[in-house]
Amino acid sequence: MRKNLGNLIMRHIAKIFVCSAMTGLLIGCASTEEQAKKALDETGQVPRNANYKDVTQYPGNVTCGKYLATDYQGFPIYKDFVVLDTVANLRPLAMDVKIYCSENPKAALDAELAIDYDIQKLQVDSILADLRLLAEPLEAYISDNTSFPWTEQGLQALVERATIGNPPRTFPEGGYISAIPTDPWGRDYDYACDPFAGVRIPYELQSLGADGTVGGAGENADIKHIYLPYFDHINNL
């Protein structure tokens, strides 16, 4: 009798524990979803009480889904959104959705870049460190001169004042950086920034991999500076 009573009590306690855990999980998911919707509301570009669908949480405090908007003709259309932590992106790139809105962001990034990050980590991390290193003087250059160095000037325009293309109005003594790093294979990083009617044009900066040509897989894959946020994301998981 006492044994049966003890078993009943233990089963009841176990049921309470499971129910409490499930309730906490549901509350946590609901809370994360509400935080994402709040971030979207705060952009001022999504109507309050907007309709949402396919709202899903992913690793790394990411929430993805679709919100009801209108196209350029005024017709209703669902558009993708990505909320990373509390930062809402209402115009995610296709690659943003592939990487952030994935149960396995690393596998998604590997597939997208045709690499194996685990195997190539030393080389890739070296490239990423150089891309971060170059980003700071490039931002300082445009802050002083309203444009990045042009393609014909190249990254060397950060080391010494360029005399071709669009010479800088301001150039600090000693340059913006003392020397330009090379990639793990000893090649210069591929840089491009074409001028366009005075509009600020983003630069392109990448390693072309072991073969030094555009495209490729594995160690021949191109690693671009625009991939930095994706690698930061998977390394923070």
Task: Give residue-wise pLDDT tens across range 142-166.
Answer: 999 988 999 999 999 999 999 998 8
Residues 173, 80, single domain; the answer is no
Residues 49, 128, single domain; the answer is no
Q: Which two tokens stand for residue 79?
A: 């558009």
Residues 45, 117, single domain; the answer is no
Mean pLDDT of 227-237: 97
Q: Which pTM value belongs to this model?
A: 0.83
Q: What 8-state DSSP symbol labels residue 169? A: S
Q: Considering 74, 103, 132, which residue would you say is the last residue of a domain?
A: 103
Could you tell me which residues are beta bridge partners of residue 69?
A: 77
Residues 231, 119, single domain; the answer is yes
Segments in 146-211 forming alpha helices (H): none
d(CA 78, CA 194): 34
Number of domain units in the chain? 2
Residues 40, 126, single domain; the answer is no
Q: Which two tokens stand for residue 161?
A: 């004042």
Residues 147, 211, single domain; the answer is yes
Residue 57, SS3 per DSSP:
strand
pLDDT at residue 32 in the model: 73
Segments in the chain forming alpha helices (H): 2-42, 94-100, 105-113, 117-145, 228-235
Q: Considering 103, 129, 146, which residue would you say is the last residue of a domain?
A: 103
Instruction: Tell me which residue has tokens 């250059």.
Output: 141
Determine the structural domain holding residue 144 and report its residue range: 112-235
Confidence band of 127 (pLDDT split at 50, 70, 90): very high
Residue 131 has pLDDT above 90, yes or no: yes
d(CA 158, CA 179): 8
If one counts every other C-beta atom within 10 angstroms of the C-beta of residue 207, the result is 26
Residues 62, 19, single domain; the answer is yes
Residues 188, 81, single domain; the answer is no
CATH number at residue 172: 3.30.700.10
d(CA 45, CA 51): 13
Confidence band of 30 (pLDDT split at 50, 70, 90): low
Residue 93, SS3 per DSSP:
coil
Q: Considering 39, 68, 103, which residue would you say is the last residue of a domain?
A: 103
Residues 92, 149, single domain; the answer is no
Residues 142, 217, single domain; the answer is yes
